[in-house]
Structure 1
Amino acid sequence: MATERRTVLADAALAVLADEGMRGLTHRAVDRAADLPLGTTSAYFRTRRALLDALVRRLVALDQAELQELGAALPTVRDDGELTDAIAAFTALRLTGPGRRRTLARYTCAVESVRHPELREILVPRDNAAREAVRAFLAARGVPDPEGRTLTLLACVDGLVFDGLVSGRSVRREHILGVVAAAVRGPDEG
């Protein structure tokens, strides 16, 4: 029950952070969002730091589960267009619906990790099936340093998601195709 309550509170904290930003993340706001009596959040997470730590851990767990599921469901990618389409579907998830809230929370936490380096360790990208699918595609194409190019490609996609979130525009397929082509081609093959 305590673990379940902590999860409910971490989910509520994610929603508060996404909707109200870092300044709005308070124990009382999380209590309200979770529809629990005032004081519940502080009983489980005594400090704001403990609450933020739980929120970030929950965020990473949700993201990892989603990426694992997406990657496992992805058929073997055969060409740049298929990889582009898979990434386009993923970016749409990150910019709309529940994915949008997690994206807002993730970027807020990333900025906060500059001031709290211990959060950086929690937020560091991890291996998952989606990342492995991209790496395997690049390796199959004979791309030098497929791991490094995977990281670069995913960082570029993250930048497109960030721009889409800030600008309110969707991520255009041709932009994704451009970063996929650059990853396959490489800097010396332009």
Structure 2
Amino acid sequence: MASDRRTLLADSALGVLADEGIRGLTHRAVDRRAALPPGTTSAYYRTRAALLTALVTRLVRLDQAELETMPGQLPPLRTVEDLVDGMVLLTRQRLTGEGRRRSLARYACAVESVRDPELREILVPRENAGREAVRLFLAAQGVTDAEDRTHTLLTCLDGLVFDRLVSGGEVPREALEGLVVAALHRAPRPR
């Protein structure tokens, strides 16, 4: 029962953060969002830091679950088009509905983590089936530094999602194709 309550509180905190921003994230606001008596959140998470840590931990679990199932939603990655299709799907999930709310919360937490090493550690990108599918695709295309290129590609993808959260609209397919083409190019030889 306590773990169900903790999950409810973390999910409620995510909602508060997405809707009201980091300044709106208070124990009282989470109590109201969860429809629980005043003081419930502070009974489970005594400090704001503890609440934020629970929120970030829950956010990462939700994101990881999404990224683990993503490859099963697509055909195997054999072509650039296949990878771009997967990136289109991911960006749409991250920009609409519950994905949009989690994205807003994720970026607020990322900014907060600049001053909090514990949060930063929780937010470090994790291994998951989606990331592995991209790495395997790049390696199959002859990219020798597939690990580094995967990291760069996904970081750029994240930047495009952030840009569209702020400015609105969808990530253009052409931009995603450009990222994949760049990831496939050989790096210039050192002089």
Q: TM-score, normalised by structure 1?
A: 0.97
1:95, 1:74 → 2: CA distance? 19
- In structure 1, C-alpha distance between the alignment counterparts of 2:45 and 2:74, rounded to whole Å: 38
Match of 1:88 in 2: 88
2:53 matched residue in structure 1? 53
Paired position in structure 1 for 2:104: 104
| Mapped contact 2:14–2:105 kept (Cα < 8 A) | yes
Aligned residues of 2:76 and 2:82 also touching (Cα < 8 A): no
SS, match of residue 188 in structure 1? coil
Counterpart position of 1:9: 9
TM-score, normalised to structure 2's length? Answer: 0.96
Residues 124-168 of structure 1 deviation map (CA, whole Å, 9 limit, x = unaligned): 000000000000000100111100000000001001001010101
- Whether the aligned pair in 2 keeps the contact of 1:60 and 1:122 (CA below 8 Å) is yes
2 CA distance for matches of 1:139 and 1:157? Answer: 19
Rounded Cα–Cα distance in structure 2 between residues aligned with 1:101 and 1:125: 19
State the superposition RMSD in angstroms: 1.1
- Which amino acid in 2 is paired with 1:185? H
Q: How many residues align?
A: 189
* 1:1-190 correspondence to structure 2 within 5 Å: 1-188=1-188
SS of match in other structure, 1:115: coil
Q: Distance in 1 between matches of 2:180 and 2:52?
A: 34
CA distance in 2, matches of 1:96, 1:186: 34
CA distances 1:68-120 after superposition (whole Å, capped 9, x unpaired)? 01124433211111100110111010000000000000000000001111100
Distance 2:69 2:81 in 1: 21
Aligned partners of 2:165 and 2:188: how far apart in 1?
A: 31
Paired letter, 2:5: R
CA distance in 2, matches of 1:85, 1:165: 20
8 Å contact kept, 1:71–1:132: no
> Between the two proteins, what is the percent identity of the paired residues?
67
Q: Which amino acid aligns with 2:149?
A: R
Higher helix content, 1 or 2: 1
5+ residue gaps, structure 2: none
Instruction: Say if 2:75 and 2:82, in contact at 8 Å, map to a contact too.
Output: no
Alpha-carbon separation, structure 2, partners of 1:69 and 1:34: 28
